Amino acid sequence: MDPRSLERELADSLGASMPARWVMAEADRREREEGKDADREARAMAKAVAEGLPLQYAIGRWQFRDFEVLVDGRVLIPRPETEQVVEVALQLLAEGPEGAVVDLGTGSGVIAISLALAFPDRLVIATDVSDEALELAAQNAARNSAKVEFRRGSWFEALDPASRGPFALMVSNPPYVPEEDYEQLDPRLHHEPRQALVAAEGDAGDPGLSELEAILEEAPSWLSPGGAILVEHGEAQGEALAELASWLGYEDVTTHLDLAGAVRATSGRLR
């Protein structure tokens, strides 16, 4: 079929021309590398998206900063908001002490890969409780020639207790969607792993803060002096987390905004 006609057809199905071009580019790649029929692949992807599958899962790969990763239902879809969190992490590392870096709950691996590519001489560890997520994250690290050490376990359980103390940075994009909000999310989000999205309320009853609180509370025993913690979170959670971080004794507690001006992350340094 004529590419322009196919693009118009797909744009009508997807509601915009840019997603149609992304679908066509992936279909062309599958034809070149896998011998599949490009038109058929493009229509199949567009149909899946029209029926509710996230575009990124239909394509099977996505751009994050200046590299590409594989994505599917094993992991959350990498988002621009997390790219901003990575920028903060890079600044914290550049201004902080020497030492290893940990990405807690790595998912697709994009945070760990970004840090490993920017600081190739640092030990970068990525943890996740999901074997499936770790498998995909390891593939993504390999395809981008990023040296990352992957470990399985829930948050700090994946780390060697003997290594407490030397970490220069701990960063995490943990679950933080309140349980009561899950059903009201965009239905496409229900294709993403629920355990990576939803968290129970915190100790004081704040919605969605259980995992974030656990990370902030335990991180000091793993950080070196001057080491930093950085967590991504929801817009309404910044004030409570900044107060908790200050109460726990972190210094330079800072709330960070994303490109849309929404509160997106909180950081602090150990004395």
In whole angstroms, give the CA distance from residue 2 to residue 23.
Answer: 15
Burial of 9 (0-12, 13-18, 19+ CB in 10 A): middle
Counting the structural domains of the chain, the total is 2
In whole angstroms, give the CA distance from residue 101 to residue 89.
Answer: 10
Digit-by-digit pLDDT tens for the chain (271 residues) are 677 888 999 999 999 999 999 999 999 999 999 999 999 999 999 999 999 999 999 999 999 999 999 999 999 999 999 999 999 999 999 999 999 999 999 999 999 999 999 999 999 999 999 999 999 999 999 999 999 999 999 999 999 887 666 899 999 999 999 999 999 999 999 999 999 999 999 998 999 999 999 999 999 999 999 999 999 999 999 999 999 999 999 999 999 999 899 999 999 999 8
In whole angstroms, give the CA distance from residue 243 to residue 45.
Answer: 45
Structure tokens at 17: 């021309």
In this structure, are 17 and 143 located in the same domain?
no
Residue 156 lies in a domain: yes
From the CA atom positions of the chain, what is the Rg in Å?
A: 20
Contacts of 25 (CB under 8 A, 6+ apart): none
**CATH, residue 210:** 3.40.50.150
Residue 61 lies in a domain: no
What is the reported pLDDT for 1? Answer: 63
What is the reported pLDDT for 161? Answer: 84
The pTM (predicted TM-score) of the whole model is 0.94
Helix ranges, 101-228 (H): 110-118, 131-143, 210-218
End-to-end CA distance of the chain: 64
Range of the domain at 152: 80-269
DSSP structure class, residue 65 = T
